[in-house]
Structure 1
Amino acid sequence: MVATIKDVAKKAGVSIATVSNYLNNTNPVRKETATRIQAAIDSLGYKQNYMARNLKAQRYTDVGVILPDLDNPYYVQIFQGIEKTFHQSKYYLTLAFSYDDPEREAEIIDNLLKKQVAGLVLVPSMVDNWKFYYHHLVSRDKPLVILDRQIDNLETNFIAFENEKAIADLAKSLIDQGKRNLVLITGPRKYREEQLCIDAFLEVCSQNDIDINQALQVYSVGTSKEETFRITTNLLRRFLPDAILTTNGAGAVGIIESLSFLGYSTNDIPVATLGEERWNKYTHSISSLSSQRPAIQMGEQAAQLLLEQLKSPFVSENRRILMTDKILTKEPHPVRYAQYQPIQIDRNGQTLKVLLLDTYQTHALSGLFSNFTSATGIAVDATSIPHPELFERIIQESRKAPGDSPFDVVMFDIPWLYTLASSKVLADISPHIERKEINPGIFLPRSFEYFSRFEKGHYGLPFMYAPQILFYRKDLFEDPFNKTEFDRLFKSKLRPPQTWKEFNAICEFFTSHTDHISYGTSIPASHPEYLAPEIYMRLFSSNSQVFDKNNQVTFSNPRTLKAYIDLIKVMKHVKPNYLQTSDMDAVKDFLLGETAMLITYPSFLYDEELISANPGILNNIAHSNIPGNAPILGGWSLGIFAQSEQKDQAFDFIKWACSDKISDYFALMGGYSAVESTYLNDELTKLYPWFPLYHSTYKTTRPILPPRTASGKIVSQNKIDSIICHGVYELLKDSSDIPSVIEKTHKALEELILSHEETT
């Protein structure tokens, strides 16, 4: 038996009028009452009959339009067509954006239904969930027009372009021009239309005896200009195509930007795209080949179909309309170059040797090297070394005679600056700074002090900024069961932890009290380089110091005791293989869904391979300050080896790599520079919503800087870290107690200072 509003009112213990106020938002309802009403609705399976209500009231004049975004001109034109048609009607449009997030789209639809919209036009993101659209819209006789993406098993109005035919025609046109090494970039394969484009492309290539390596020549991750820039830049490191096809104009913008940035033009590598319809062909159109699609007409037809159903809801038949593109071939024209256009200099085929940390971000930078080479004529040969090995490799290279070391440029961690500069491993670049060859004002405040300056000189430029950030799974923290259970067990709200005690409690909860995930977090402890940050951030938040302002050891104190207790307690409630876990292993655990929280440097979080293995994971990750809000300032500089015989060319490179001219491009590739404007860029903030937090966190970060002896000698930070971590490893192996370890660590640090003082 179908539940009625009277049944809901009875079960919730309220009047029918109160239920009506809640459903229709006509009058405010108290939170407690609203909760009871919603519980009754869910229990009874009550559904409103929107069509009957509309016929009775005859006053609902809002129409919902849900589009993925307005970044793509195609969707702008669709909306222009919808608005043009509805402008002369009695209906008003409510526009919303799903950003292809299924949860966001579902929430928008629910809110529009509560607002009693008369009908909807939408580009769906949940194409594999026909039941949602059926139960929320079709079964309630809500007039609906679906655009672009077909939903199987759903009987409703549908309008789309024959994308697969247009892609086939574009590919055939390029092949007829002698182009055989083709690349296709589409949206996600879960949308049937994108898969059909891939099938059509492969079929045309097969018919023309062209073998396609799909792993190298077909990409289906998205078509925003940022994504296609990243794909194209990475592609050109491995494969030089004859032409690139993409399924929308926004994607073509990113492809052209990448080609221009790396020194190519669309005469070298033509770009073909679906859907460019503009009158200003000389100033707007940038692709070499495109299809002309009347998107405004699509919007008009969608609006007309919806108006017909609104006028005659019981007799209007659903219609399926496929529209066709016209292929446009353009004469070759000069490409619009990216903003960065440095002076061309002939360096006679010189090559710079660069020693880098082995991380995803430096691999991303290497994808941009062609921009430097095209501007200067200097090739770049990079060698990447894992973090635990990099410092020793730098020292080894510095001991070689001038001309024997192959390296000119070196990447180094902030805590290494004093040691490398005082040991004359690095060249002083102060003359370049004094000649104002780079503007220190582009970097985060005081960056030069932390990343570059030692005594009266400068020994590097700020390259990568990396504050510690807490990342957590939104779905787990917002889950009603988890929230209720956590409150029951710990008498507190489940929220991003603000203290280490709260962090420990949340780790215990997710590890031991819920089946929703395996562990609360992972702690990387396989090497001192990974374990040391875990120790320091707890020491900082407890206001403990290893050394005082006079460089005297102050390690043994009650605040250190608290920090160590917090660390050792949490180890009982983390993934147990911590002694084999690296920093990237901890990231992998989080991205693959094994852990609920992750504290790491943001430069480690973005791993394209891991993210592609778990699509949509970034949409489910939230971010916050770390517990105690006393993060370590992580960061890396680029410097010049003192024995390099190409110091001027090496400075040209580090100035390029650290400049604001490439920082935004570096961010698109997954890198995090020390240039402040990158974190204030509106487009990048929309792509990476955690950027504002990174920027604000900088004010509370603390760098780890090594102390000096009484005579002014620099104490090795690596040796300090090794001593501190040695004590913690004893605790992790249950071979000592916390007070004894703290006391032994204190004495070992004092002996280290004394040994440096005695060393000549």
Structure 2
Amino acid sequence: MATILDVAKKAGVSQGTVSNVLNGKGNVSSEKIRAVEEAARELGYTINERAKMLRKGSGNVICVILPTIEFKQYRELYNSIKFCAEQKGVFTELLISNDNAETEIELVQHAQSIMALGVVTISCLKKHENPYQTANLKKVCFVERKPLFASDYYGFNYTKAGSDMAEMILNKQYRDVIVVTGRESFSNESEYLQGFKKVMNQENEYFCNVEYISTDLFRISNSMLHVISQGRKIDSIVVSNAGYAERIIELVKTFIPDHKIDVYSMAQITSLPDHEFISYELNYSRLGKEIAEKLIDTDEETFVDEQHIFENDGIRKWGDEKPKKDTSKTINVLALDGPEAVIIQNLARLYTNHTGINVKVAIFSYEDIYTQFLNAEVLDLYDVIRIDVNWLSWFAGRLLMPLEEIDADITAVFEEYIPALLDKYAYIRGKVYALPITPSVQLLFYRKDLFENTGIKRLYQEKYKEELKIPDSFEKYNQIAEFFTNLDSAEYNVKYGAGVTLGNFGVAASEFLARFFSYKEHLYDENGKIIINNEYGKKAMQELIDGYKNSSGKESRWWTTTAKEFSDGQTAMMITFSNFASEILGVQSKIADKVGCAMVPGGNPIYGGGSLGISKNSKHKKEAMEFIKWLTREPVSSAMAALGSVSPCRKTYDRYDIIRSFPWLELSKECFQLSRTKRTRDEGSSFDEKKFVNIVGAAVKETVMEISDIDVALERAQMLIDMEFNNESE
């Protein structure tokens, strides 16, 4: 095995230089960095992170002690902790106790020996003595099972879970029910049973036979095989643990395949319906995230034992419990081409299965959908219309039905949404015209492997006498883009500094406005007139031209195309809307694990995406209302995000599995509140976005194609804006 000395000899430098290069420290020239990296690659040398951590004399590891990793909810917990920790530069180590107290104590000693930063444990200890305290582990979080001593505890409302599941069993009027739990000595199991039995004892007015089985990791299969082999007509099995439920279902399929048994179980949240059993969902993702944040962000001196009881998500309905078979009605949906349209098409099948109502989705390009909007003003072609947020004010009164006139309680659904969305995506002039479906913002996407490369960072430092950082202004953005465009592409596999979308007037205008809003929060002056022919407009146009010079120069007509080109790995940065970013991770992507995201330069991102409204000419307004409520709320909204779109619902952003796959979603949620971009003084006023972006986009295209210079193009655009928009305010 190669050593640091071997690398130093091969590279012709000192051991100290090798150490500085591999650890990203010290003032080392780009030539020496390149020599060390090449030598390390040839020798197969890698840094032993654990050894490096121990040499420092302080732990940077969270130890996670679980009974087993076989159960999905425990994997969800661990992966959530791991993901959050990695974001903060902390390692995790998975340790399995098999619910054996002696093994757990040995694992505690291991955590002590590596000076763990903290410990997370689903403990099986039954004594009042605290071995974690004896081992001088100051930051320990106990999960699910409360120990017999004072502790920092994280769990759910298990008593309520038991009560809720008993209510469901009684409502279904099952006759023979088996209730399976883990050891009653564990607090979560005893609380669950307490809640279940209380409801059964009080409300079981008809004869329902209930048998209670307490088991564990190793006896579950044997215990249940004995029960199901008796030939009983069991209606339902209620389980306190998804891992147990999975094993029970395997036994039922194997030994009594013709006997239908409904299985209910507590489980982690899923992105799509679970067809194996009926899930009573608990958010282990959020649990893991908050545990990791407390362990990492809290000092030993300020770490306080607390009780953290998280809300149960419970049974999340994907549709009516009894699917309807009447398919006489059809809802027609008008949608914009993009990832979300395909996802809506497929999720609509679930809606049809549950309601019997057919859903047809008509998908049009950006250029063609505007014509369809105009047609929909007088025709009853569509029931549901997906409308761009920036077109909403213009078309709301002309095209859509105020939702309060269909459902007087429509605002009740707003509790699920991110609060910052309502004024932008729902309300127009004081009325609710739409529900948010794909709220998005412009974000900066960049190649992490390039920005974090020691050699590249040194070359940038040598050229510009400053550190390579994520740009916070478009001036820096263009400087970095020029640097990457002129970099040796053969060595670093990058040809272009930036991706620019200028294929049609709409996207070209967005590229200009992204830069304009980095200087000014809104478009209007003190008199309320829209002004782009000013110092900010000229700066924005010049920066766009400079950025275009460091792009591929391809005519990317839509954000989807630019994202796919970025995924090819030859571009260092791009700016696009978050609802199109999933294209970066497509099956052909060469940079799926190398993508970083950040706030757009200037810190004032444009919001985009769209909402769902109901056509005033629809013949099925009530059915259309139920459909858009179903599509924009939990659990369907999280399913859309998990499939590559975005979500308006707060709970989506507590999901480790979704955020891990699409890490930019967390940032986009913050940006909705931070965005201060406004076209007009009164944001709810009627504004013809299509006409406006055509004027601005034409000016951009004229300038980029060198038909006009900046001054002439902006002067012409301003004249048209004055004629079309500013005369109205006089």
SS at match of 2:412: coil
Cα gap change, 1:738/1:64 in structure 2, threshold over 3 Å: closer, same or farther? closer
- Counterpart in 2 of 1:73? 71
Q: Which residue of 2 aligns with 1:657?
A: 631
Given that 2:443 and 2:578 are in contact with CA atoms closer than 8 Å, whether structure 1 keeps it comes out as yes
Q: Given the superposition, is the C-alpha separation of residues 550 and 81 from structure 1 closer, same or farther in structure 2, using an over 3 Å criterion?
A: same
Match of 2:171 in 1: none
Aligned 1:349-428 pairs, distance under 5 A: 349-400=328-379, 405-422=380-397, 424-428=398-402
Q: 1:469 to 1:679 in 2, by over 3 A?
A: same
Matched, 1:561 2:538: yes
Q: Is 1:751 aligned with 2:730?
A: no
CA contact (8 A) 2:68 2:97 kept: no
Secondary structure of the structure 2 residue equivalent to 1:618: coil
Query: Where does residue 603 of structure 2 map in the other structure?
Result: 629
1:160-199, Cα deviation, whole Å (9 max, x unpaired): xxxxxxxxxxxxxxxxxxxxxxxxxxxxxxxxxxxxxxxx
- 1:668-705 deviation per Cα after TM superposition (whole angstroms, max 9, x unaligned): 11121212222233453344333321222222124554
Pick closer, same or farther for the CA change 1:544–1:675 going to 2, 3 Å: closer
Whether the aligned pair in 2 keeps the contact of 1:418 and 1:706 (CA below 8 Å) is no
1:654-693 matches, cutoff 5 A: 654-693=628-667
Amino acid at match of 2:501: P
TM value normalised by structure 2:
0.61
The one-character-per-residue Cα deviations of 1:618-667 (angstroms, maximum 9, x if unpaired) are 32111111111110011301001111111111111111111133222222
How far 1:408 sits from its partner (Å)? 0.6
Higher relative contact order (CA 8 A, sep 6+): 2
- Confirm or deny that 1:594 pairs with 2:570: yes
Q: State yes or no: 1:519 paired with 2:496.
A: yes
Query: 1:3 touches 1:44 (CA, 8 Å); kept in 2?
Result: no
Q: Does 1:478 align with 2:420?
A: no
Partner residue of 1:570 out of 519, 542, 547: 547
Which of these residues, 573, 577, 587, is aligned with residue 612 of structure 1? 587
Q: CA deviation at 1:33?
A: 11
Aligned 1:46-57 pairs, distance under 5 A: none
The equivalent of 2:176 in structure 1 is none
2:524 is the alignment partner of 1:552: no
What's the CA shift for 1:448? 2.4
Give yes or no for the alignment of 1:721 onto 2:697.
no
User: How far does residue 547 in structure 1 lie from its aligned partner after superposition?
Assistant: 2.4
Contact map agreement 2:530 2:679 (CA 8 A) in 1: no
Does residue 1:531 correspond to 2:508, yes or no? Answer: yes
Shift of 1:396: 1.6
What amino acid maps onto 2:666 in structure 1? P
SS of structure 2 residue aligned to 1:367: helix
Equivalent position of 1:58 in the other structure: none
In the alignment, does 2:304 pair up with 1:332?
no
- Three-state SS of the structure 1 residue aligned to 2:523 is coil
Deviations 1:483-529 (A, max 9, x none): 11111122222221111011101111111223121111221111012
Amino acid at match of 1:350: K
In 1, the alpha carbon distance for the partners of 2:70 and 2:579 equals: 28
Counting matched residue pairs gives: 518
Structure 1 residue 373: deviation in Å? 2.4
Deviation at 1:604, TM superposition (A): 0.6
The verdict on how the C-alpha distance between 1:72 and 1:471 changes in structure 2, with shifts beyond 3 A counting, is: farther
* Alignment-derived partner of residue 233 in structure 2: none
Q: Distance in 2 between matches of 1:739 and 1:429?
A: 45
Inter-partner Cα distance in structure 1 for 2:665 and 2:70: 23
Q: What secondary structure, in the 3-state scheme, does the structure 1 residue paired with 2:571 have?
A: coil
> For each residue in 1:292-321, what CA deviation from the matched residue of structure 2 results, as whole angstroms up to 9, or x when unmatched?
9xxxxxxxxxxxxxxxxxxxxxxxxxxxxx
Q: Is the 8 A contact 2:530 2:721 kept in 1?
A: yes
Alignment partner of 1:737 is 2:709? yes
Residue aligning to 1:463: 437
TM-score (ref. length: structure 1): 0.59
Structure 2: which amino acid aligns with 1:594?
A: Q
Amino acid at match of 1:698: F
Does residue 473 of structure 2 align to residue 495 of structure 1? no
Q: Comparing 640-649 with 368-377, which one deviates more in the overlay? A: 368-377
- Contact residue 508 and residue 520 of structure 1 kept, 8 A: yes
Structure-2 separation of matches of 1:619 and 1:410: 36
Residue 216 of structure 1: aligned partner: none
Instruction: Output the amino acid matched with 1:752.
Output: E
Q: Is the 8 A contact 1:353 1:408 kept in 2?
A: yes
8 Å Cα contact 1:633-1:704 kept in structure 2: no
User: Partner of 1:649: helix, strand, or coil?
Assistant: helix
Q: For 1:740, what is the secondary structure of its paired residue? A: helix
Amino acid across the alignment from 1:501 = E
Residue 646 of structure 1 corresponds to 620
- Provide closer, same or farther for how the CA distance between residues 726 and 455 of structure 1 changes in structure 2, counting only shifts above 3 A: same
RMSD (Å), alpha carbons: 4.8
SS of the residue 1:576 aligns to: coil
The 3-state SS of whatever aligns with 1:355 is strand
For residue 604 of structure 2, what is the amino acid of its counterpart?
A
Aligned partners of 2:65 and 2:95 also within 8 Å: no
Instruction: Answer yes or no: is the 8 Å Cα contact 1:542–1:560 preserved in 2.
Output: no
Secondary structure of the structure 1 residue equivalent to 2:587: helix
Deviations 1:82-110 (A, max 9, x none): 98897798996469xxxxxxxxxxxxxxx
Rounded to whole Å, the distance in 1 between the matches of 2:471 and 2:478 is 9
Cα separation, 1, equivalents of 2:466 and 2:14:
30
CA distance in 2, matches of 1:683, 1:90: 28
Shift in alpha-carbon separation, 1:466–1:45, aligned structure 2, 3 A? closer
Unaligned stretches of 5+ residues in structure 2:
52-60, 76-93, 117-216, 225-236, 263-276, 280-314
- Give the residue type in structure 1 aligned to 2:446: Y
What's the CA shift for 1:741? 1.9
Contact 1:8/1:44 (8 A) holds in 2: no
Are the counterparts in 1 of residues 345 and 361 from structure 2 also a CA contact under 8 Å?
yes
> Cα deviation per residue 1:345-378 (whole Å; 9 max; x = unaligned)?
8566311111111111221122222332233321
After superposition, the Cα gap between the structure-2 partners of 1:565 and 1:71, relative to the gap in structure 1 and judged at 3 Å, is farther
Q: Structure 1 88/566 Cα, relative in aligned 2: closer, same or farther at 3 Å?
A: closer
Q: Residues 286 and 351 (structure 1 numbering): CA distance in 2 closer, same or farther, change over 3 Å?
A: farther
Relative to structure 1, the CA distance from residue 85 to residue 356 in structure 2 (aligned partners, 3 Å threshold; closer, same or farther) is same
Map 1:230-249 to 2 at 5 A: none
Task: Structure 1 unaligned segments of length 5 or more: list them.
Answer: 24-28, 54-62, 96-111, 116-274, 293-325
